[in-house]
Structure 1
Amino acid sequence: MTAAASSRTVFFFEKPSAMRKLQQMFRSPTTVCVSAEGHLLATKEPGDIKDEWKTWAFDTLPIVLDRIPVTYGSNRSGQSHKPKVDGIKQALNGVSRVIVATDPGREGSMIAWEVLEFLGYRGPVDRLKLGALDDVSIKRAFAQMAKEPDSGERDYAAYLEALCRQYEDYHLGLNGTRAISLKLRPQAFRQPWRFGGVQTPTLAILADLEARIRKFVPQDYYKIALKASSASGALVTLWHAPKDKILDKQIAETIRQAASSWSGPLKVEQKDVNRAPPKLFSKDTLARRCAKRFGWDPQKTAQLAQELYDQGFLTYPRTESEHLPESQMGDAPIVIESVVQILSDLAHLLPDPSKLIFRKGNKGHYIADPGEHHAIVPLRKAPQRQQITHEQFQLWELVAKSFMAAHLPDGVDARTTISAQIPTPLGDKRFTVTGSVMKSPGWRAVYGTEAEEDTDNVPGKAKGDDDPSVGRLPPVTNGENANVSEARIETAKTEPPRRITRGELPVVMGRLVDQIDDPKLKAALENPANPNEPKGLGTAATRDAILPKLIKSQYVTLLKGKDPPLQVTEVGMAFIDAVRRVFPSYADPVGRALFESELAEIGRATSRTDAMRRAAAFQERTRTRLKELIETISKADAVALDPSKVPPAGAGKPPTPAMVAFATKLAAQKGLPLPRGLKTNSAVCRAFLDQHAPPRPEQANPQQGSQQTGPRAPSDAMLRYANSLAQQKQIEVPPEALTDFAACKAFIDKHATQRTPGPQTKAATPQRASRSPIPAGSAKGATGTRSKASPMQRGNTATKAPTARRSPPR
């Protein structure tokens, strides 16, 4: 990249790690690099905008803002981001252009553009999309940017889409939660009824599945087994188990009687069956696999993948695609060679580069254009085991094996089917059995015995009956006669739909089409722009955050298991019923998916003017729907809910390790059994401690202390803060601090770090009367003029950010 001696360019990165990587490759006296720390700005709380909005009152709704004021955010330590923003402001003085080099995608675009808008930058902007942080990928990103003189203009459209999503998040979370909590929430439930544009239809999917499970009544169905001996003496058992299950035992008995005296020829079919390797990983399918394999929740998988991306070992992880562009086929030999240098036990599987397999098309691994971000794959730079943590290596190994398997030959199974066509009073019935033997492992050699357990069923569906099969079948010749020696009926029971697990939920949200049976709705969810990625709920970057919100709201609980299934509570069922009664479109997953596909059109706009027009229309639609929601809620009655079905305070949240340790110690001292659920439910653990913990020591006034009936328990917030302090200082929370308010407060007072008040005052916060789009341009220096009013307003974020950023539910 070249620049005039009198001009300066600012590179705007999302993280210091990416900035340092580029600085290792490229330095120039005319460039300045700055980095954010996630989102540097935060939206103001309603109560900070107007005092009357601090109190929840229905007559103040709807709260609708044309522009949501922003202020400086803060990092996890509570330090204000104002110095960072001021440093970026200083760097922008006199620059000829800005190159946005944050993570690819809407979220990365927003991190940079929101600061540029806040500081009033008016110069040209280009977009550098770093899909990976290795040298080759960085050079490719620069080459691609050079080919796109309008990259900044298009990136602004992505930014506007992010703002539109967050504008809706803010208003729906704020107004919907207040309105539903004030008017519809059952009296027995004291927590807010949290409402969000994405989380509510997601809960609807789980609630509908929960209703089907509750209504499910098992039915007996029947299969007929036929033992036959061939003329050569081979014994084989054939089965009649049709896909349309036999539910009438009399029908099964009629077939059994007819088959019991059968003799005739057996038909033997033999063929080789090719098994292609699975697709590469998207963010959601990687989360599902890690949940199944390691028991990780999706947020943990996303964090580990992001860390590996930051270190230059994986490509960009927040992707919806499972394909690679055909232009990258030449990278495969080098990448696989790097992989086997680390996974040396796979080196014997590495073929000559000319014999690698490149499967093209939607059912393969390479397509012409996989969209904004391709599948997650390893890079030329492979990590040594000692370079990264054990869990990071587990994740990298999983992705690396997937990439290697994708370029190896198909597995081949030799499959034999023995069948007999038997006449009965109900027509001819087919009895079969299949035997399958691995003929060639192909790509499965990468995984060994793990290959079979990676078969993925559709979440939320009942497990289907497999065809009757065995490993090896006895030798039987086609047309050989056989006689039946025994015919019997076996009884089985239909099974309810499987619950969706924690690791499967992001996949369900992204592939809503798999949950729908209606052909018209299935067709509506198709995505002509990218058939591999049908319309769904949320985005790859935001889906992980939905389940924790549902659990926090006590709408959903986790059952037991490595990848725990999700169960909707009575509170969650009542909430969905209430929403569907007053405004059913907000609990319609398909409708929401179609709505979001319209929203995505903002980010696909090819010009700033078009993006602004679409954003303004979306914003107006959001306000209209919001007013309709409040109006319908105002006419509705509260939901009736049996108080016994309301979870106790703290239900669903696990106790802290210190609480469990103290309870275990008490139980051992007093010879008591630990109550069921104590180690997984903080409410159960707290009740045990309240009952059996020793009384609080006498305070300064013994008379006053002797009148007390027991210690006052610390709040959940105090316990969380005490445990946070203990972790920071690597000490233990005293057992008495877990049940005694005074002891907990004394611990906090002793160990809390005094913080200097930050500069976040109203006087110090620059506020813009309106948001105006920023003109974007190329290196040629195109400029623009800020408009007087913005068609796009500011919203809060619900996506991943390293900084603490409060947001309403989605």
Structure 2
Amino acid sequence: MAYELIISEKPQASKRIAEALADTKAKKETENKVPHYILTHDGKEIVVACAVGHLFGLAEVKEAKKKKGWTYPVFDVEWKPINEIQKSAAFSKKYLDTIKKLAKNANSVTVATDFDVEGEVIGLNCVRFICKKKDANRMKFSTLTKEDLVESYENKLKHLEWGQARAGETRHILDWFWGINLSRALTLAVNKARGGFKLLTSGRVQGPALKLIVDKEKEIKDFVPEPYWELTLKGEKDKKEIDAMHSNGRFKDENEVKKIFSKIKDCKTATVNKIEQRQIKEAPPVPFDLTTLQTQSARYFNIGPKATLNIAQSLYTNGYISYPRTSSQKLPAKLGYKKILNNLSKNPKYANLVDGILSLPQLKPNEGEKTDDAHPSIFPTGVLPKKLNDTEAKIYDLIVKRFLSVFAPAAVREMIKVLLDVEGELFQAEGSRTVEENWYKFYAPYIRRTEVELPKMKEKDKVNVKDISKLDKQTTPPKRYTEAGLVRAMEKENIGTKATRAQIVETLFTRGYIKGKPLEATELGIKTVAALLKHAPDILDVEMTRHFETEMDDIRHGKKKEEEVIDEARETLVKILSKFKKHENEIGKVLGEAEAESYKVMNTLGSCPVCKKGNLMIKKSRFGKFVGCTSYPNCTATFGLPKTGIITVTENVCPECGHPIVEHRTGKTRPRLTCINPKCITWTAEYKEEQRQADQTEKFDSGLKEATKKKVAKKKLKPVKKAVKKKKGKK
């Protein structure tokens, strides 16, 4: 039986495609526990199979690897099944084998992976390496709703999107060139200098991203605070308080401010000199692109960029929102605003809000400037979620409220400025109030506005002066990047892609180049940047990284050829590595010392609460990471750690038992703070339930951050009597 084979990017997507296209009900079959679906659409036989992300990756050509060994530079690469490259990807082989088997009897192939450069590469590799074909049909969709999928299938492209495919393949090759060669260079330099083996990494985007953080660290370190002074006034009229500041703002001359303060400090009355009142219109927000969604999620929920993307991807895969990896701030009319709104109104939570939008004279969104060739902005599809966990519900609500608010009229604010005269010195009081909420009420509670009510006044009115103060202040250093702030900075510099920036941040954490929240460069990160700036600055050059991003965009739009960009990248990298090799020993010595010191700092949790003599350190065994005491064998205190994710040392101790707190990051959810003591009361179901019922999860995290060894009493909960008895074992 001949049939059309449709290949999706992931199992859940294949299920939704099959359900959408089936005339009756799609038949699910499994091959080695990998699902595929058999169906008919308008009488035509179709089989829907799935990949599981990338089934192929780049690797060094086997013959070249044997000949050269583990050295650099290396540019001989080939596509290979990813299970042959990474042990952790062994599971992908059964998906590859299933597609291969199904492709044998297929008379045509249609690619239905995500419509972006990564999805195109996944589809291209399946077509040429598994199906042994040169081209295929291509479905293009931005949501996994039945309507969108049927329309996409019936209007499918007759060819792959070759611009995307070539740009995506070029990106993979360039990232491999940079990643492998720079990582080998750094690793060999360090290991020659100190012996042993320690893997250090860098990459085409990773290096410039790290430099952004280190540059910020340098700004903070070099910052010299400057003194300044302010004069403030507290007044009262009609029993309402007035706060005002001298109209000069900041004074830089202390003698000047002292002279003025001496003149007016005892004054009890001010005269209204002038009143300025105006109304302003505040436009509604623009639709979400990925970076803005990540920024807002971090701001309101403290959910990091990678976790936000993972949650959004899950919402998309289930058909609740549109494709999240988009740069667009546009909402094309063809999406069918009214239909989406009518469906959203079936959720009681949004019914009244939707009615408010539908009552408007016209549905016209306030669009932003950013565009995306492949997808519109992020929006809810109107498919109502059946069940969401807490974080999914938060992100979904944020997306729905954003979607509603972009259609609403501008908010109207009234701004009042009052000048108060005190012995010839003018003080300025500012008031603000919302006259018309409009889009505010649709986006609530995700808005921050200040309402300052001033008493009614007119010129020449008298105001009672209750206090005039002279404030001594200093300028403050720049703030460190948050994760979302770094992603935003990378977007501004045009380094990385919307889909990869969050992962770059995660990699910098994993490799020990950065730590903490907000992001702080470690000694290893600082010295790595310093050494590379001195001997191989091009590795960190944002301009060069931006240049190749532009080149790949040109490939996508047919302005450049893949081979041209790859050749240019190879030549550039040869020059960079040549400079590096000349200073390999010096670089290795500096980085080796920094890595050793950084390792010690990043793995020490503090003094041992059991023996009171040694320090608790994160160590490794064949079973994984654990915490042990440096006084072993005299102290056998050990504590287990999660087997997956990234464990980061914090400076905090548990308020319940006094043991250290670690941060656990999985990338799927926001980082969690955890006490290492498994007998601590914070591990009990009773404690967690009490926290949940009181909606105190965020407060608990905050409490742990600020915790001291001082006991925090908890109602109806018994404190831990003693530390856990530790098992003896080899370190």
Name the CA shift for 1:106/1:264 in 2 (closer, same or farther; >3 Å).
same
Structure 1 residues 31, 599: closer, same or farther in 2, change over 3 A?
same
Match of 1:9 among 4, 27, 31: 4
Cross-structure match for 2:545:
592
Residue aligning to 2:569:
622
**Residues 677 and 630 (structure 1), Cα distance of their counterparts in 2 relative to 1, 3 Å cut:** closer
- Aligned: 1:253 with 2:258: yes
Out of 458, 466, 473, the position equivalent to 1:492 is: 473
Look up the equivalent residue of 2:533 and give its one-letter code.
R
Amino acid corresponding to residue 247 of structure 1 in structure 2: K
1 CA distance for matches of 2:87 and 2:15? Answer: 22
Deviation of 1:304 after TM superposition, in Å, equals 1.5
Q: 2:187 aligns with which of 168, 181, 184?
A: 181
Deviation per CA, 1:73-120: give whole Å up to 9, x if none: 279976454453344334434655422110121111111101222247
3-state SS in 1 of match to 2:201: coil
Corresponding residue of 2:694: none
* Match status 1:39 vs 2:35: no
- 1:451 aligned to which of 447, 459, 463: 447
Match of 2:277, SS state, is strand
Matched, 1:161 2:157: no
Worse-superposed segment, 84-93 or 304-313: 84-93
SS of corresponding position for 1:130: coil
What does residue range 442-591 of structure 1 map to in structure 2 within 5 Å?
Answer: 442-446=438-442, 448=444, 450-452=446-448, 471-478=452-459, 480=461, 488-512=469-493, 536-558=494-516, 564-591=517-544
Question: Which aligned pairs between 1:117-132 and structure 2 lie closer than 5 A?
Answer: 117-119=128-130, 121-132=132-143
**Displacement of 1:404 after TM fit?**
1.8
Alignment of 1:283-682 (within 5 A): 283-328=290-335, 331-344=336-349, 347=352, 350-351=355-356, 353-355=358-360, 358=363, 364-365=366-367, 370-384=372-386, 387-419=387-419, 431-446=427-442, 448=444, 450-452=446-448, 471-478=452-459, 480=461, 488-512=469-493, 536-558=494-516, 564-605=517-558, 614-636=561-583, 637-639=585-587, 641=590, 643=593, 646-647=596-597, 649=599, 652=602, 667=609, 670=610
SS at match of 1:246: coil
- Code of the residue aligned with 2:403 in structure 1: it is F
- More deviation, 274-283/543-552: 274-283
Q: Is the 1:266–1:419 contact (alpha carbons within 8 Å) kept by the matching residues of 2?
A: yes
Q: Deviations over 1:54-81 (max 9, x none)?
A: 44xxxx431221x425135279976454
Q: Does 1:740 align with 2:729?
A: yes
Determine the structure 2 residue equivalent to 1:114: 125
Conserved 8 A contact 1:246-1:252? yes
Tell me how far 1:620 sits from its aligned partner.
0.4
Check the 8 A contact 1:46/1:54 in 2, yes or no: no
Q: Which moved more, 1:582-591 or 1:686-695?
A: 686-695
For 1:573 and 1:719, how far apart are their aligned partners in 2?
A: 24
**Residues 278 and 716 from structure 1, CA distance in 2 versus in 1: closer, same or farther, beyond 3 angstroms?**
closer
Preserved contact between residue 320 and residue 375 of structure 1 (Cα < 8 Å): yes
C-alpha spacing 1:565/1:249, structure 2 compared with 1 (3 Å): same
Q: CA deviation at 1:228?
A: 6.6
| Mapped partners of 1:673, 1:341: distance in 2 | 63
Aligned to 1:726: none
2:134 maps to 1:101: no
Q: d(CA) in 2 for partners of 1:476 and 1:554?
A: 59
Q: Output the CA distance in 1 between the equivalents of 2:316 and 2:143.
A: 7
Shift of 1:202: 0.3
Determine the C-alpha separation between the residues in 2 that align with 1:209 and 1:629: 25
| CA–CA separation in structure 2 for the residues paired with 1:676 and 1:248 | 51
Q: Does 1:687 align with 2:629?
A: yes
Report the equivalent of 1:728.
Answer: none
- CA deviation digits over 1:764-798, x for unaligned, max 9? xxxxxxxxxxxxxxxxxxxxxxxxxxxxxxxxxxx
| 1-structure distance, mates of 2:361, 2:278 | 25
Q: Note the alpha carbon deviations across 1:110-163, whole angstroms, 9 max, x for none.
A: 111012222473454232122101122224434653xx55x52xx122111111
Q: Which region of structure 1 is more displaced relative to structure 2, 131-140 or 258-267?
A: 258-267
Aligned to 1:698: none
How many angstroms apart in 2 are the aligned matches of 1:302 and 1:654? 31
Q: Structure 2 CA distance, aligned partners of 1:367 and 1:216?
A: 36
Q: Distance in 1 between matches of 2:240 and 2:645?
A: 70
Contact 1:185 1:638 in 2 (8 A): no
- Partners of 2:143 and 2:321 within 8 A in 1: yes
Q: Is the 8 A contact 1:134 1:379 kept in 2?
A: yes
What TM-score, normalized by structure 2, do the two folds share?
0.75
Question: Compared with structure 1, are the counterparts of its residues 78 and 163 closer, same or farther at alpha carbon in structure 2 (3 Å cutoff)?
Answer: closer
Q: Which runs of 5+ in 1 are unaligned?
A: 1-5, 454-468, 513-535, 559-563, 696-710, 724-731, 743-810
Q: How many residues align?
A: 627
Change over 3 Å in CA distance of 1:69–1:371 after alignment to 2:
closer
1:71 alignment partner, one of 77, 81, 89:
81
Matches of 1:651 and 1:46 in 2, distance apart? 39
1:299-348 Cα distance to aligned partner (Å, 9 max, x none): 222222111111111111111223322433xx333323433433527626
Contact 2:616 / 2:630 at 8 angstroms: preserved in 1?
A: no
CA offsets 1:27-65 (integer angstroms, 9 cap, x no match)? 24343322111111233357785235544xxxx431221
Shift in CA distance, 368/180, structure 1 to aligned 2, threshold 3 Å: closer
Residue 127 of structure 2 is aligned to residue 138 of structure 1: no
Q: Indicate conservation of the 8 Å contact 1:199/1:550, yes or no.
A: yes
With over 3 angstroms needed to count, the CA separation of the structure-2 counterparts of 1:208 and 1:718, relative to structure 1, is: closer
- SS of residue paired to 1:44: strand
Further displaced range: 540-549 or 635-644:
635-644
Percent of paired sites with the same residue: 21
State the distance in 2 between where 1:366 and 1:353 align: 22
| TM-aligned CA distance change 1:19 to 1:736, over 3 Å | farther
In structure 2, distance between residues paired with 1:676 and 1:219: 41
Q: Which amino acid aligns with 1:397?
A: D
Distance 1:496 1:63, change over 3 A: same
**1:459 aligned partner:** none
Q: Deviations over 1:556-613 (max 9, x none)?
A: 111xxxxx201001211111112222232321224422331222211122xxxx66xx
SS of residue paired to 2:484: coil
Cα distance between partner residues in 1 of 2:579 and 2:618: 42
> Are positions 1:23 and 2:18 aligned together?
yes
- Separation in 2, partners of 1:247, 1:589: 37
8 Å contact kept, 1:183–1:633: no
- Tell me if structure 2 keeps the 8 A contact 1:271–1:416: yes
Is 1:205 equivalent to 2:182 in the alignment?
A: no
- Point out the more displaced range, 203-212 or 136-145: 136-145
Task: Describe the shift of the 1:345–1:123 C-alpha distance in structure 2 as closer, same or farther (beyond 3 A).
Answer: closer
